[in-house]
Structure 1
Amino acid sequence: MQYVPLHLHTENSLLDGAIRIKELCKFAKENNMPAVALTDHGNMYGAIQMYEEAKSAGIKPLIGCEFYVYDGDITEKNPAKTHPYHLVLIAKDQTGYKNLVKLVSIAKCKGMYYKPRINHELIEQHHEGLICLSACVQGEIAQGFIQGNKEASYEAAKFYKNLFGDDYYIELQDHGLEKQKMSNPGMIELAKELGIKMVITNDSHYLKKEDADWHDTLLCIQTNALKESNNRFKFPNDEFYVKTPEQLRDSFRWMDADLFEECIKNTVEVADKCHLIIEMGKYHIPYFELPPNHTSESYLEYLTLEGIKKRYGALTPALKERMDYELGVINKMGFAEYFLIVSDFIHFAKRNDIPVGPGRGSAAGSLISYALEITDLDPIRHNLLFERFLNPERVSMPDVDIDFCVERRGEVIDYVTKKYGADKVCQIITFGTLAARNAMKSVARVYDIPYAQSNQWAQLIPGEPKIKIDDALKEGMELKKLYDTDPTVKKLVDMAKAIEGLKNNTGMHAAGVIISKMPLEDVVPVEPSKEGLIVTEYTMIEDEHIGLLKMDFLGLRNLTIIHSALKMVEARTGEKVDINNIPLDDEATFELLQKGDTDGVFQLESAGMKKLVKDLKPSVFEDLGALVALFRPGPLNSGMVDDFVQRKHGRQKIEYAHPDLEPILKDTYGTIVYQEQIMQIFQTLADYSLGQADNVRRMMGKKQLEKMAEQKGLFVQNSAKHGMTQKQAEELFEQIEKFAAYCFNRSHSAAYAFVAYQTAYLKAHYPVEYMSALLSSVSNDQEKTQLYIGECQKMGIKVLAPDINKSNAKFTPDGDNIRFGLASIKNVGEGVIELIEKERKTEEGEFKSLYDFCTRIDSKALNKRTLESLIKSGAFVNIEKSRKQLMENLDSLVASAYRQNEAKMLGQASLFAGMTTSSGLDLDTYTLTGSEEEFDDKQIQAFEKEYLGFYVTSHPLSSIIDKLPFLTTHNIAELKDMPNDKSVTVCGLLSQVRQIPTKKDPTKFLKAGIIEDLTGKVEFVAFHKTLIDYNSFIESEKKVIISGKIQKRDEEQFNIIVDSVKAVENSNIVTLNIKADMPFEELVGLKDVLTHFKGSDPVVIKMKEKDDTAQEREVRILCGSNFWVDASNELVHAITNNFPQKIEIGIKSLDE
């Protein structure tokens, strides 16, 4: 007997349903089910996946939804009516699908109150093409019988019967529930009386009976409950799975056999009525308003010609050939309007001074994109390929991703929304999933396993993207050992594997924007995001599958920084820098890069990238593109990056398998770095078109082995015409296969290298303006701000305290220094800053004193807390003598200013000029009383730390800043890139130190706190065994050198487990200058001497060596703490006597 499940909740009923669609379709096929329905709670998240997976499995997809039906106006929010009825609707055809989409969208956008709701009126308006099922025990019909209101059940059934006719079915379920026993007999009687057919369904929330336990765990995660808790939401039994007809018969033993068979047959009847076709692959590009007498194609050609003349001066034969070819491909694919749409909103941005990136992704390879100013990177000059962007042999929507200024990206989206209509433009949903580590920790919480323990186990899963728990259970892995020996770990892991990858929340795509040809509610279900913006319920890929135009409007902070820096340069010097036309061979820029001074340089500022930049020493623009492409896990782990560096510096021979490869690979030193190079190799040596070559590249990337074997034969055969032997061709093909997994898009690399170069250029030539813009861009990120303030200090740029007369809201240049922005001061809001900036522009000009400030700024916007923040942060130090004196006078000064302002408002200021009040306060002026003595340096540092978040005018580590590189292995900002268990040495100031008793023995304790240097801060933990030797050093406000190991809590969070501590005060640093000709044997002797004088003073070795250009350079090495010494005269004598004229020893106090 055939049967069709009509009531199912997949994982898209978030954290309630647990059925994976792919597994469902496989199950249905294996159990001879001709169709299967999707009826998630109030949404259509899974509709497209269900449609595609079912079609692929050879079964019919039934697209539906279980709605919440409200008795009343769906816009009302009545706390007494929070339990609407359930109702299942399934689309028969395209009309039904559109109505389903509209009802879901209306429910989500207008009817949301605890649940997304519709009502009878909306169902009447949008019922065509839909099949209606009465739903579960929460349905109107069942509820009437359950509540003893038979008349209500009949009334509701008549409403639906009159509306849907023979497409209305009474739904019977039996999970052994008391409520079903109360309602099923009445529903059968009602159906017979009113002539309504019945179907048997099972309210399925998981696929198989044995899945009930992990589904229950999922419910605990959703409701934040413990598994063992009795007072929590749970399903009453394990009957809520997808049942076969035989299993259903067992549930409905009480039903007459003929009626049961009829109800089962009716499920197939429902499926037979459905013939929905969702059109896939047909693109719906919006209409673009054209000038008179133009088609999309002719207007695109006209704009391209004008753009080429502007870019190149003239249309050369080579340019015309490339233009005609690209236009031919674009027009043949029907994408002319696409390019016009993109060009239009980019020109809107540029007209309105909204920064736009030079390009992103493969679009930078198009001459048409460059001519239309969609991109600003010359594809001819940089050897970029159009076919990597649009392949003439594979029709697919162009993918133009655009970077905009992060602060003004919304203005471009607003322009597009206004131009094409708010009903046709929206953003895109994303789904969070229970990734491997998260699944482990979530399950552990449900089972009440302590976080520290579960986190330790979760850390045994590698932190790579898309990693699976099974990957961590391979032989030899630590988790596998625990899994095999610890029953708790086994239970936890098995449960986590069951829920791993399930969707658990929704979000909004960071950049994706849909521009539709038709109103969205005719095409795709939509809902409000948490941010209050409308998003599609289908993912980005699914939106593209149904033909919607998707654009990526990305916000790139670096564009904002560049734009801001250029504005500052122009304001200060009058110079207008054309950043898109700067020389790409600038000496100062490459000097900065080669030194690795790349903090604040786009794409090049991580610790790992800095090392690669210093190793490579880029000398041409092409090197930067390679850096962007190579600094990824695949290339880094493959060894190709090391080869690239060695070849660049002539330490490894560059060999080409065929002379024709040299022009293709010369820029990358014989290494295949880019996908476009693979395409060019196939074109040059095997006579492929670039379109064919791109298809082969994609095959290799997807590891389509059968197709690749076929292509290998063709490659070997064709390359023979170019003089390659079979062996040479096979080896080259295999080499290409290997590199294909790692190769990157050259167009994207070049475009992002250009932005990197622009930022490096500005940092090299306009350091004050650039660093001001950079600091302003991260003013809400304390960690980054601290890092960049430290970088300013290294560059010799002072970051000055805020000044009430010179500071604007953001960081700004002040001569050769940078002035702190007022917006970065704690408790100082935008309103006050606007008043300050406005008041300074009046005839009265700069503020003369704190009193003058208080009388000129509206007291309603200026409270005492704000004034204290301004005073203590140093904003008045240039017009007043002492912060301390201001604080002592603040109450009386504010009172006087308030009276003065009152008098002004009454128009009495001139009448009372020069007079005093009864309390003796002068209405015109205020004289500060008391001592002009200032707070001490330590207190001022504390104020700056509290109100600015940083030490600005001086830092507790300032006295040893030049010694820090010799005392440490890393600065604190670099630690985030370090692997777990990495040994590090850092120097900084301790704060928030606390003593914590250990759990095992309360008489013992550990210490935890924060260590901070000029680049950032990090938490540390010192266990009891470490405190035996170092307890007295670990106190707040102490300057110390800490050695220890990195402990990663997750991908983002980490701390240092302390091994040893050295106090900076009253300590020394020992420097050993070793002559270049010192024999290796004597270095072994040095090791023995250092070990003999073992102590806690750091040892730095200085040596000279020759670099790749035969120039001498000094190398400085910080010895490990096991070679630190006790600096003494005896040590000096031992070094001098044992290594005469070979080693010079110097001892300096650390805090000199």
Structure 2
Amino acid sequence: MAEFVHLHVHTEWSLLDGAIRIEDLVKKLKEYKMPGCAITDHGTLYGLIHFYSKLKAEELKPILGCEFYVAEGSRFHKKTSRRGEAGTHLILLAKNEEGYKNLIKLGSKAYLEGFYYRPRIDKELLKEYHQGLICLTACLEGEIPQLILQGEIDKAIEVAKFYKELFGEDFYLELQVNGLPEQEKVNESLLEIGEKLKIKAVGTADCHYLNKEDAFAHEVLLCIQTGKTLNDPDRFRFNTDQLYLTSPEEMEERFKNYPKEILENTLEVFEKVNLELKLGEPLFPRAKVPSNYTEKEYFLHKAREGLKKRLEELKKKGALYTDEKEYFERLEMELEVIIEKGYAGYFLIVADFCEWARSQGIPVGPGRGSAAGALTSYALGITNLDPIRLGLLFERFLNKERPSLPDIDVDFCMEGRDKVIDYVAKTYGERNIAKIATFGQLKARQVIRDVGRALGFKPKEIDPIAKLITPGPEVKLSEEIKREDLQELINKHPKLKELFDLALKLEGLPRHASQHAAGVIISPIPIDEIAPVMKGEEDEIVVQFDMKACETIGLIKFDFLGLKTLTIIDNTLKAIKEYEGIELDINAIPLDDPKTFKLLQEGETDGVFQLESEGMKDLLRRLKPTEFNDLIAVLALYRPGPLEGGLVDQYIETKHGKRKPEYLHPLLEPILKETYGVIVYQEQVMEIARAFAGYTLGEADLLRRAMGKKDKELMQQLKEDFVKRSVERLIPKEIAEKVFDLMEKFAEYGFNKSHSAAYALLSYQTAYLKAHYPVYFLASILTYEINKSEEVSKYLTLAERMGIPILSPDINLSGAGFSVENGAIRIGLQAIKNVGEEAVQEIIRKRPYKDFIDFCQKVDREKVNKKTIEALIKAGAFDSLEPNRAKLLHNLPTILSFTQESKGASLFGQPSLLKLDIFNSLKLEEVPEWTFEEKLNFEKQALGFFLSDHPLRKYRSLVEIFTPYNLENIKKENISDKIILCALISEIKLKTTRSGNKIALLKLEDEFAIGKALIFPDIYKEKMNLIKESSILWFKGELDTEEENYTFIVEDLKPLEDLSFFKEGYFKLYLKSDNL
């Protein structure tokens, strides 16, 4: 065994500071024949469980610790120390289970109580939670080293005495030899203090990166953290290249002039550590169960009774798919597995909060993920689709062979989601629930951009390089770099070689912490007793561990997702009931409605759940769905794999009779018939394994999972087993091999049918509402998006295209949101900028108003101020009382002064001006109406969109002579050439590059759509006099179509009257192609 152990190591979990990946650390420890090491990340415990698990797996001893920040005084005092930092550093290592619990307590309180720039503890906390911990004085940023550097040796001795009294023999002075002159001074004084107070010392290397040659990459990482460039003289840096994971021999060389026991003492610390964590055992929360039941009994009772109720409902609707016996047999099979896996309480808890949500009028989704395949979910009211009718498999969700427990994901309406989480917290204990940390990474494109910025590349230079990398979260730079085009580019430009070399070193490191979008831990005991916690973006409690680490220590995750579609459906149904008197049961609508399928076949799916993108619309138009199964398949097929692999074309051509379905063996036909011979779903892979090789569905699920891992050796073993078992069932070997190859190929693309079916139901429901009740449906969408003027403009344009009249906001008729009025959509008052919720409530409460003066007299000016009234005028809300908006705005100050005097007089008991008939004699001074352009611009100012008309409409016939393109159709056409279009600039955002140049980000609009444009510094500098809000210009450039929300890259722009873009050749070519 080596005679030294590292006790001060910063892994990748010291975000954008530590650059040591734990996997690489383990390999290096094995190479150095070291028995283990410590993890001491800065202020956080993010990486503890990953570190512990990976070292244990290689029979190395993990020492769990942290380099804490210690506040100068109290952690509650939010002020910087004399050095301008939030605190000094201190290393704490867990010696045993008690120490680990105290480490967690300190790590939690540092965030919850002491956070000030960084998470901080203080000496009061150390006094309370020091048991079982080993303490080191840390690096030059430690309190004692800092006092030494400041020449305050006596104070340093007093602090050392404090820690010695607190930790006893578990307190060590930390020495480093790292090439820094001030470190030598600190070391000398530390040895003197140690000799004086009889305190042992240990040697460390303060490791931040793995190898010495990684020092420069680490400097780049620090630049990414601080937003600086390498050529910035003021950037934060370590003035040494010695902070790497040294070998024992290197440490001996470094400390050759120091007492030998300094390194030997690291082994003493190592031997003191005796910590074994209990991992892998699920910590199931306890469900609410009546006193006369056990948890198991209550679960069985609820599931069986729930299924009886469901079957009665199905029988009443005539929708019972098969014999009741099949349902009950399937349920009993599921219940047995669920109970065996200890999952009964989990189901009861999910069923409980779903039931509570519905009782409170909070919409709950029909299902999500593989749990939709469980009949038990359907029986308990967790999901709302019949898995037997849809051919969904329970085993895709849970089976006896599955080693890990799945989640049940539940969708709630956006407004109600947090109420459900609050209910869970009150029911199961505030300290027993928490959200889960998640960590963004330096992914392939991101790391190119970040490293490029640190190296001083301009955005204009680095952006095209980053875009050469294939988009996607799973893309690896190490694979991309093998491409010939990239190799050629890198070889031509030495600076690019440096960029890519550095990016490869940093790729995959965690970049920032945030929180899981939906995951919530529910624990049987307070979470901070088993895991460190911190505060999230909105002060909620978040576990410092990511999802995988939470699972490792047994914490159980529940997913609460917010889905706006549920709110929109609910509001549509309420409006239909209010205006039409129809109580529509959305779960009872026919799934074969011709009008709905016509809408889907035509791709008229703006506003339809999951089907709004241009690509999806195109797929629907090509596929022309005729049954609900087609819709399930559409959601599964619209992904890069099936689209690029030709599966979509095969499905469409076979559906429309242009090719025959091909089945390698008759056993495939009943499994693949519904998808026209194409393997679309993961469940089909499982069914094939069962039909050919006699696998149980649990075994088949394991096979499916293994296929996704692309392990060649494993796949060969699996293939041999599959073929052998198939041959035993009289399947020809050649056919079995081909079938396995087919499964392997499509397992990569296959989608979870349960999830697709559940979301297809939402897609169908929204399509049905749009087809049958378009005015109510669009009004509900508009109300939901009321504060997003871009979305409001989009859906108002859609409504007009569908022949639905749009009515201006009206002071006497408009509600807060968009409403339906005689088949038209009335714009809501809250759609007007500067008209807040309180003002809207006041306006509605004091209605009706006979004229403008009456309005000004009635409303409370503290709730409806001058700015609000001006916005109402500009939006046309008073048009029914006075159509001349200019007249109202002109007279407003006079009227407000009169109403103010009136109310003031009334307060003092004097006769009001109204009683003196002064108001009756008030007349509004006549002024000319606004011009057409003024009226439109004021509407845009008040609403965020043009309402009466669009400034571009009067030029449209001219524009169409010169270019076929507008902001709507460029999204639909596959355009690779330069294009010219005419648009209005509605918003300008300027960004300054590091070199001081300006980039312009524009929001463009025309009568059809809204789009984004980007102007780089050279063009902006040349054309800045033209780039003004409300300007209508010709734009020439090309589309960046990598994302659904395209960006127009502007190469040139000209005023509307300048037609020099349209050279004779272009003009003739356009006319010729237009007349073909």
Mapped to 2, the partners of 1:848 and 1:130 lie a distance apart of: 77
Supply the AA of the counterpart residue of 1:634.
G
Judged with a 3 Å threshold, the aligned counterparts in structure 2 of structure 1 residues 453 and 1027 are, in CA distance, closer, same or farther, namely closer
Mapped to 1, the partners of 2:34 and 2:204 lie a distance apart of: 13
Using the TM superposition, give the Cα deviation of residue 188 of structure 1 relative to its aligned residue in structure 2, in angstroms: 2.0
Q: Deviations over 1:597-653 (max 9, x none)?
A: 001111111011100000000110010110100000111110011000101111111
Using the TM superposition, give the Cα deviation of residue 980 of structure 1 relative to its aligned residue in structure 2, in angstroms: 9.0
Q: Deviations over 1:1014-1051 (max 9, x none)?
A: 221332769999999x9999998787886752136989
My pick for the range that moved more, 671-680 or 213-222, is: 213-222
1:307 correspondence with 2:315: no
Using the TM superposition, give the Cα deviation of residue 307 of structure 1 relative to its aligned residue in structure 2, in angstroms: 1.1
Using the TM superposition, give the Cα deviation of residue 207 of structure 1 relative to its aligned residue in structure 2, in angstroms: 1.6
Mapped to 2, the partners of 1:50 and 1:688 lie a distance apart of: 37
Mapped to 2, the partners of 1:788 and 1:494 lie a distance apart of: 48
User: Which residue of 1 is the match for residue 318 of structure 2?
Assistant: none
Q: Deviations over 1:498-529 (max 9, x none)?
A: 22222222112111111111111111111112
- Size of the aligned set, in residue pairs, is 1057
User: Which residue of 2 is the match for residue 929 of structure 1?
Assistant: 925
Mapped to 2, the partners of 1:1025 and 1:183 lie a distance apart of: 56
Judged with a 3 Å threshold, the aligned counterparts in structure 2 of structure 1 residues 683 and 1061 are, in CA distance, closer, same or farther, namely farther
Supply the AA of the counterpart residue of 1:750.
A
Using the TM superposition, give the Cα deviation of residue 741 of structure 1 relative to its aligned residue in structure 2, in angstroms: 0.2
Judged with a 3 Å threshold, the aligned counterparts in structure 2 of structure 1 residues 292 and 1027 are, in CA distance, closer, same or farther, namely closer
Mapped to 2, the partners of 1:966 and 1:320 lie a distance apart of: 68
Using the TM superposition, give the Cα deviation of residue 774 of structure 1 relative to its aligned residue in structure 2, in angstroms: 1.0
Judged with a 3 Å threshold, the aligned counterparts in structure 2 of structure 1 residues 121 and 1041 are, in CA distance, closer, same or farther, namely closer
Which structure 2 residues correspond to residues 655-804 of structure 1 after superposition, within 5 A? 655-720=662-727, 723-804=730-811
User: Which residue of 1 is the match for residue 380 of structure 2?
Assistant: 372
For the 8 Å contact 2:1002–2:1012, the answer to whether it is kept is no
Judged with a 3 Å threshold, the aligned counterparts in structure 2 of structure 1 residues 1060 and 519 are, in CA distance, closer, same or farther, namely closer
Using the TM superposition, give the Cα deviation of residue 16 of structure 1 relative to its aligned residue in structure 2, in angstroms: 2.1
Using the TM superposition, give the Cα deviation of residue 930 of structure 1 relative to its aligned residue in structure 2, in angstroms: 1.3
Mapped to 2, the partners of 1:610 and 1:406 lie a distance apart of: 26
1:6 correspondence with 2:7: yes
For the 8 Å contact 1:1007–1:1023, the answer to whether it is kept is no
User: Which residue of 2 is the match for residue 1121 of structure 1?
Assistant: 1070
For the 8 Å contact 2:81–2:87, the answer to whether it is kept is no
Judged with a 3 Å threshold, the aligned counterparts in structure 2 of structure 1 residues 684 and 548 are, in CA distance, closer, same or farther, namely same
Q: Which of 432, 439, 450 is the aligned partner of 1:431?
A: 439
1:938 correspondence with 2:933: yes
Which structure 2 residues correspond to residues 881-920 of structure 1 after superposition, within 5 A? 881-909=883-911, 913-915=914-916
Normalising by structure 1, we get a TM-score of: 0.86
My pick for the range that moved more, 207-216 or 936-945, is: 936-945
Q: Which of 391, 399, 403 is the aligned partner of 2:407?
A: 399
Structure 1: which 5+ residue stretches go unaligned?
Answer: 841-845, 917-921, 997-1001, 1068-1090, 1098-1119, 1126-1134, 1136-1142, 1144-1152
For the 8 Å contact 1:675–1:697, the answer to whether it is kept is yes
Mapped to 2, the partners of 1:218 and 1:1051 lie a distance apart of: 31
Q: Deviations over 1:7-38 (max 9, x none)?
A: 01122222222222221121111111111110
Judged with a 3 Å threshold, the aligned counterparts in structure 2 of structure 1 residues 755 and 33 are, in CA distance, closer, same or farther, namely same
Q: Which of 977, 987, 1008 is the aligned partner of 1:1014?
A: 1008
Using the TM superposition, give the Cα deviation of residue 865 of structure 1 relative to its aligned residue in structure 2, in angstroms: 2.0
Mapped to 1, the partners of 2:88 and 2:52 lie a distance apart of: 27
Which structure 2 residues correspond to residues 968-1117 of structure 1 after superposition, within 5 A? 972=967, 981=976, 988-989=983-984, 1010-1019=1004-1013, 1044-1047=1037-1040, 1054-1057=1047-1050, 1096=1067
Residue aligned with 1:61, SS: strand
User: Which residue of 1 is the match for residue 179 of structure 2?
Assistant: 176
The sequence identity of aligned pairs, in percent, is: 43
Supply the AA of the counterpart residue of 2:397.
F
Residue aligned with 1:423, SS: helix
Mapped to 2, the partners of 1:1026 and 1:143 lie a distance apart of: 50
User: Which residue of 2 is the match for residue 206 of structure 1?
Assistant: 209
Mapped to 2, the partners of 1:229 and 1:267 lie a distance apart of: 38
Judged with a 3 Å threshold, the aligned counterparts in structure 2 of structure 1 residues 1023 and 286 are, in CA distance, closer, same or farther, namely closer
1:339 correspondence with 2:341: no
User: Which residue of 1 is the match for residue 287 of structure 2?
Assistant: 288
Residue aligned with 1:416, SS: helix
Using the TM superposition, give the Cα deviation of residue 1056 of structure 1 relative to its aligned residue in structure 2, in angstroms: 4.1
For the 8 Å contact 1:800–1:952, the answer to whether it is kept is no
Residue aligned with 2:69, SS: strand
User: Which residue of 2 is the match for residue 951 of structure 1?
Assistant: 946
Q: Deviations over 1:975-1016 (max 9, x none)?
A: 5688894666756446679999xxxxx9xx999984534221
User: Which residue of 2 is the match for residue 1111 of structure 1?
Assistant: none
Mapped to 1, the partners of 2:285 and 2:856 lie a distance apart of: 57
Mapped to 1, the partners of 2:460 and 2:217 lie a distance apart of: 23
Residue aligned with 1:26, SS: helix
Aligned-residue CA RMSD (Å):
3.4
Judged with a 3 Å threshold, the aligned counterparts in structure 2 of structure 1 residues 558 and 379 are, in CA distance, closer, same or farther, namely same
Q: Deviations over 1:890-936 (max 9, x none)?
A: 11111122222223434545x654526xxxxx2456321214x5323
1:279 correspondence with 2:278: yes
Supply the AA of the counterpart residue of 1:953.
S
For the 8 Å contact 1:108–1:116, the answer to whether it is kept is yes
User: Which residue of 2 is the match for residue 505 of structure 1?
Assistant: 512
Mapped to 2, the partners of 1:140 and 1:993 lie a distance apart of: 50
User: Which residue of 2 is the match for residue 1101 of structure 1?
Assistant: none
For the 8 Å contact 1:1026–1:1059, the answer to whether it is kept is no
For the 8 Å contact 1:1042–1:1062, the answer to whether it is kept is no
1:460 correspondence with 2:468: yes
Using the TM superposition, give the Cα deviation of residue 167 of structure 1 relative to its aligned residue in structure 2, in angstroms: 2.2
Judged with a 3 Å threshold, the aligned counterparts in structure 2 of structure 1 residues 721 and 464 are, in CA distance, closer, same or farther, namely same
Using the TM superposition, give the Cα deviation of residue 1057 of structure 1 relative to its aligned residue in structure 2, in angstroms: 4.2
Mapped to 2, the partners of 1:849 and 1:268 lie a distance apart of: 88
1:420 correspondence with 2:428: yes
1:65 correspondence with 2:66: yes
Mapped to 2, the partners of 1:13 and 1:1034 lie a distance apart of: 44
For the 8 Å contact 2:210–2:245, the answer to whether it is kept is yes
Using the TM superposition, give the Cα deviation of residue 271 of structure 1 relative to its aligned residue in structure 2, in angstroms: 1.7
Supply the AA of the counterpart residue of 1:1123.
K
Judged with a 3 Å threshold, the aligned counterparts in structure 2 of structure 1 residues 991 and 786 are, in CA distance, closer, same or farther, namely closer
My pick for the range that moved more, 369-378 or 568-577, is: 568-577
For the 8 Å contact 2:1011–2:1046, the answer to whether it is kept is no
Residue aligned with 2:89, SS: strand
Normalising by structure 2, we get a TM-score of: 0.92
For the 8 Å contact 1:683–1:693, the answer to whether it is kept is yes
Residue aligned with 1:696, SS: helix
Using the TM superposition, give the Cα deviation of residue 833 of structure 1 relative to its aligned residue in structure 2, in angstroms: 1.2
Using the TM superposition, give the Cα deviation of residue 815 of structure 1 relative to its aligned residue in structure 2, in angstroms: 1.8
Mapped to 1, the partners of 2:1058 and 2:96 lie a distance apart of: 81
Supply the AA of the counterpart residue of 2:466.
A
For the 8 Å contact 1:221–1:442, the answer to whether it is kept is yes
Mapped to 2, the partners of 1:384 and 1:786 lie a distance apart of: 40
Using the TM superposition, give the Cα deviation of residue 1053 of structure 1 relative to its aligned residue in structure 2, in angstroms: 6.4
1:31 correspondence with 2:32: yes
Mapped to 1, the partners of 2:742 and 2:954 lie a distance apart of: 54
Mapped to 2, the partners of 1:666 and 1:47 lie a distance apart of: 50
Supply the AA of the counterpart residue of 2:6.
P
User: Which residue of 1 is the match for residue 499 of structure 2?
Assistant: 492
For the 8 Å contact 2:369–2:408, the answer to whether it is kept is yes
Structure 2: which 5+ residue stretches go unaligned?
Answer: 316-322, 992-996
Judged with a 3 Å threshold, the aligned counterparts in structure 2 of structure 1 residues 125 and 487 are, in CA distance, closer, same or farther, namely same
Judged with a 3 Å threshold, the aligned counterparts in structure 2 of structure 1 residues 185 and 877 are, in CA distance, closer, same or farther, namely same
For the 8 Å contact 2:1003–2:1011, the answer to whether it is kept is no
Judged with a 3 Å threshold, the aligned counterparts in structure 2 of structure 1 residues 967 and 598 are, in CA distance, closer, same or farther, namely farther
Q: Deviations over 1:379-436 (max 9, x none)?
A: 1111110000002212422311111101221101111111111111111112122222
Mapped to 1, the partners of 2:382 and 2:962 lie a distance apart of: 50
Which structure 2 residues correspond to residues 558-707 of structure 1 after superposition, within 5 A? 558-707=565-714
